[in-house]
Amino acid sequence: MKTFMSKSFIEKHISGIIDFYEQNALDPQGGFFQTLALDGSVSQAEEKHLVSSARLSLVFALSGEYFDKQEHRTLAKEGIDFIEQYHWDTKRRGYNWTLINNEVGDATNHCYGLAFMLLLYSQATLSGVADYQPKINEVFELMEAQLWEANFGLYADQASADWSQIDSYRGQNANMHACEAMISAYEATQDAKFLDRAVLIAENICLRQTRDTKGYIWEHYDQNWQIDWDYNKDDPKNLYRPWGYQPGHFIEWSKLLLLINNHRPQAWLLTQAEYLYEEAMRLCWDTDFGGLVYGFGPDGKICDDEKYFWVQAETLAAQALLADQTQKEIYWQDYEKLWAYCWEKFSGEKHQPWQRLLNRQGKSIDPNVASPGAKIDYHTTCACFEILKIIK
């Protein structure tokens, strides 16, 4: 039986995925192609999304650091330069959400996008791409000035291009990624304000906002951070705001709580991390076909039985962290079981980009392995880099 706790296996897997993007995603006009099929063919070459631009730059930075590949640090730098030239708008001080032929497609300001820029600048600094500490503080201050709501201790989600209108929607997803970015910003700068902010966001989402939901994290809220049970109920496949509880986000939060615990141990962090993971697995592990399904409703019934790549990848990282911090063997057993499923179904038993989306039975239902804003193997490679910190 193949063991997925092998350092060489994880390293080979990361390298195979990144080689694919290095060979196929480099746009000679700048930035990265973001719509790719498994054979490397490019479609929608004109479309670029801020999130994918940031994520692939981040992946190259991490690879440059771990494998000491200067060429990957260079690609990360080129990716950042592209973002600063085309996504960033100096006049309005915001990042263009999408580009079409390097012209503005959508200029809406998203906390989600700013969180990934903060994460990118932090990891690029840690990876030796360049010293982006001034940029780290610049993005943090932009988020602080435009989207931070001190009375709630959380970020608003979205603003108009000129920042004049803040959308009434509030969501946990952008705050989750803001928390992730704050942890990295702290690691890059050792400035306690970032870790303080990560802890505050985590407390407010995972404790305060779950008092009436059995500790479960709901996705959608109104501007007063009251639960909106019906938001996108008629659009369950929405890319960033699907209706229902998201077990993948339960587990992603589990991972983040454990990362915070590495820096500032508190009993509740480990307790809540285990609870969120175990509830997600209990309710959403598919005992018939393997893997975790996507969503369940307030009644506990599955509302989306498809299998998304990122849910499985984040779960692998959380399992490794839980095993490490609790010393419970069950988490390694879960890890091996899930890896076996992912190796067969998502990666095709090859060190290649994962399929993005499978039906419940495990058949791919998306021809592309990369899609703007939806997938560019950030979750898979970052999960593997996190695992490598543990299986040394």
For residues 89 and 113, the answer to whether their CB atoms sit within 8 Å is: no
Sign of CA dihedral 137, 138, 141, 143: negative
Residue 379 annotated among the catalytic residues of the structure: yes
Residue 13 annotated among the catalytic residues of the structure: no
Q: How many CB atoms lie within 10 A of CB 334?
A: 21
Q: Which candidate in 49, 72, 249, 351 is catalytic?
A: 249
Q: CA nearest 311: which of 287, 290, 326?
A: 290
User: Which residues, including other chains, have CB under 8 Å from residue 14's CB and lie 6 or more apart?
Assistant: 63, 66, 381, 384, 385
Q: What angle do CA 21, 24, 28 make, to 5 degrees?
A: 110
Q: Which residues of 221-257 are buried (b: 16+ CB within 10 A; e: fewer)?
A: beeebeebeebbeeeeeeeeebbbbbbbbbbbbbbbb
Supply the DSSP string of 286-308, one letter for each residue: -TTT-SB-SEE-TTS-EEE--EE
Single-letter code of the amino acid located at 129? V
Distance CA 162, CA 289 (A): 48
Q: Which candidate in 13, 177, 220, 379 is catalytic?
A: 379
Task: Give me the active site residues, please.
Answer: 249, 379
